[in-house]
Amino acid sequence: MLMRFSIEQRHLTDVAGKPISREGSEVSFHLLDAESADDAVSVHIRDRGAEVIGNVIKFPGFQAVATMRCADGVYTLQVSPASAQRLS
């Protein structure tokens, strides 16, 4: 059974590993369907050709936090249900 998830992606560091300034910080939001928050992280990271840094931290209520590294830097991901409605 699939559920809709929202992923908040926040840019932490650039390619050189330098922190992104607060004024220049980029935040983007993505919606996707997955069976769990962990699966949502996996799909999001795979679609971007990125890799997980460390572990995916799961919380009650279908929420998770993860860190990913891709070609343009490091990002933190916050995953939460987008709605209570499950998709078939």
pLDDT, tens digit, 9 for 90 and up, residues 16-57: 888 887 665 689 999 999 999 999 999 999 999 999 999 999
User: Residue 88 — very low, low, confident or very high, per pLDDT cuts 50/70/90?
Assistant: very low
Q: What is the pLDDT of residue 19?
A: 86
Q: Which residue has the tokens 């990002």?
A: 75
Q: Give 88 or 57, the one with higher predicted confidence.
A: 57
**Can you give the residue ranges of every domain in the chain?**
2-87
Q: Tally Cβ neighbours within 10 Å of residue 72.
A: 13
Query: What pTM, to 2 d.p., does this model score?
Result: 0.84
